[in-house]
């Protein structure tokens, strides 16, 4: 079993829909990252969080440390949000090493 | 643009060959991380350097090596290449080098390596 699990693996949505991507992990962590990878391959860091909730534009990330779970929400989704979203954790015992989930492929149709 | 640069963008080579991938971190960042993204394994951490010294090691093969130079750029050397080494190789940089401090990583555009 992977230390970081994401669901769903694939997600399609109509423009304007509210989207939720989930990440569960089984190790103790110091922080969790949400990354976005566009079809061209480039990776952008969206959020790094260790507790609570962060918001940036239409993106919201939440984390529940006790339940070892994080969610990434996209409000009013748009075709340009189509990308792979990757959850990654920094463990307590090696805070420099990221362990990645397998990613969620999101396609938003107009 | 993250401020992290990687060269080359694409590399096509043959099995058994050796290649060098280059990464320049963001101005002011002391840490460089290397990652491999293959179709079957996803993203995996390879190695981290902080201010010229190796700081953390992940799933890096013995055929692979890396170093960070005094100007803080880093090179990842891949030798005796196999078909399975075909992947996207990302470099990331951060200000600090671990501990409990906040350390957001900024990713470069990647180098796509194809081994034929």
Chain A: closest CA distance from residue B96 (Å): 9
Q: What is the mean pLDDT of residues B40-55?
A: 91
The answer to whether A89 faces chain B, any CB pair under 8 Å, is no
Q: What is the pLDDT of residues B2-42, one digit of tens each?
A: 899 999 999 999 999 999 999 999 999 999 999 999 987 78
* pLDDT score recorded for residue B3: 92
Q: What is the pLDDT of residues B76-93, one digit of tens each?
A: 999 999 999 999 999 999
CA distance A12 to B57: 37
Answer yes or no: are the C-beta atoms of B33 and A91 closer than 8 Å.
no
Positions of chain A with pLDDT under 70: 1, 94-95
The residues that bridge with B36 in the sheet, in sequence order, are: B44, B89
**Contact list, B90 vs chain A (CB under 8 Å):** 43
* pLDDT score recorded for residue A76: 95
Pairing of strands B87-94, A69-74: unpaired
The answer to whether A33 faces chain B, any CB pair under 8 Å, is yes
């Amino acid at each position: 079993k992977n230390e970081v699990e994401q669901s769903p693996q694939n997600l399609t949505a109509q423009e304007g829909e509210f989207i939720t991507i989930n990440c569960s992990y089984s190790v103790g962590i110091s922080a969790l990252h949400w990354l976005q990878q566009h079809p061209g391959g480039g990776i952008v860091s969206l959020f790094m969080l260790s507790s609570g909730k962060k918001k940036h534009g239409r993106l919201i990330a939440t984390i529940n440390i006790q339940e070892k779970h994080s969610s990434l929400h996209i409000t009013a989704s748009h075709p340009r949000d189509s990308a792979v979203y990757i959850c990654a954790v920094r463990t307590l015992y090696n805070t420099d090493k990221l362990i990645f989930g397998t990613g969620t492929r999101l396609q938003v149709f107009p | 643009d993250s401020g992290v640069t990687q060269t080359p963008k694409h590399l096509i080579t043959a099995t058994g060959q050796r290649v060098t991938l280059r990464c320049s971190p963001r101005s002011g960042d002391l840490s460089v991380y290397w990652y491999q993204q293959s179709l079957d394994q996803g993203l995996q951490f390879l190695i981290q350097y902080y201010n010229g010294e190796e700081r953390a090691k992940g799933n890096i093969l013995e055929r692979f090596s890396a170093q960070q130079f005094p100007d803080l750029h880093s090179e990842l050397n891949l030798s005796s290449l196999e078909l399975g080494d075909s992947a996207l190789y990302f470099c990331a940089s951060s200000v600090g080098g671990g501990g409990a401090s906040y350390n957001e990583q900024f990713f470069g555009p990647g180098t796509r390596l194809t081994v034929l």
